[in-house]
Amino acid sequence: MWKKIARRIAVGSNGFDVAYWRERADDPGTMSVMWHNRVFNDLVDRDEWSIIEATLPEQRGAVLDLGCGTGRVAERLAARFDSYTGVDLDTMVAEAGRRFPALASSFVAATVADYEYPPERFDFILSLGCVSTACTTATLPDVASKIARALKPRGRVTLIEPFHTGRLLTRGCKMKPAEVAALFTSLGLRQLYRGGLLCFPARMVLAEPVFERFPGVTRTVYESSERLTQRFPSLLADYTVLSLEKP
């Protein structure tokens, strides 16, 4: 278990590892879940989706799902918008298309940097663990600018990303949450909400498949640790939550 934890930290610290994510897409045991303990995974999915729903705009024309993976939230987003677009690596969107054939034509194989963002096209843009791992401190400003331009007036972007105040937890892009918020507000967006999700110490242990055999323990520790995380997000949250709106 501890070797797996060390490997995940090493991969994260190296930033965007294409081979790692293609390996996940090809592995039936990991392509459906973010975390190996499915009880834990369902709890995280519940809370992530609650955040996403709470930050959706009133206008529901088009949505862009950056880093859509194998389509974990694709159907739920598509059900709430007139048009859905999911962007990710080739193996990821190929699997997403197989899983959700009705949306197959809506998945685009591209990186967040290479994707051609249509101007003022989207009412909502979601990045769930994507831009922080796919971008560096040097490349995020350009991607953020493309995201801002792609939003319609009154459109919103929600980031649920491992941006951290302390360097110990930082993986991928090494910008702090306040710096990321300042970057997007400098592009004309207005911050609606900033918070945190997923207690890092609890996540490192509960995500392991061995704890799936103890669902009661998983749920109890998860719920109590998340209450602490909401009180002290800068200290405990593994993911920063940012919601911004274009005037």
Identify the structural domains of the chain with CATH numbers, from first to last: 2-245 (3.40.50.150)
**What is d(CA 9, CA 28) in angstroms, rounded to the nearest whole number?**
22
Sign of the torsion angle spanned by Cα atoms 233, 239, 74, 35: negative
190 CB neighbour count, 10 Å cutoff: 12
Average pLDDT over residues 60-84: 97
42 CB neighbour count, 10 Å cutoff: 15
**What is d(CA 141, CA 148) in angstroms, rounded to the nearest whole number?**
10
What pLDDT, on the 0 to 100 scale, is given for residue 167? 63
What pLDDT, on the 0 to 100 scale, is given for residue 59? 96
| pLDDT beyond 60 at 68 | yes
Q: For residue 96, give both structure tokens.
A: 């997403």
**What is d(CA 121, CA 87) in angstroms, rounded to the nearest whole number?**
15
| pLDDT beyond 70 at 221 | yes
What pLDDT, on the 0 to 100 scale, is given for residue 171? 65
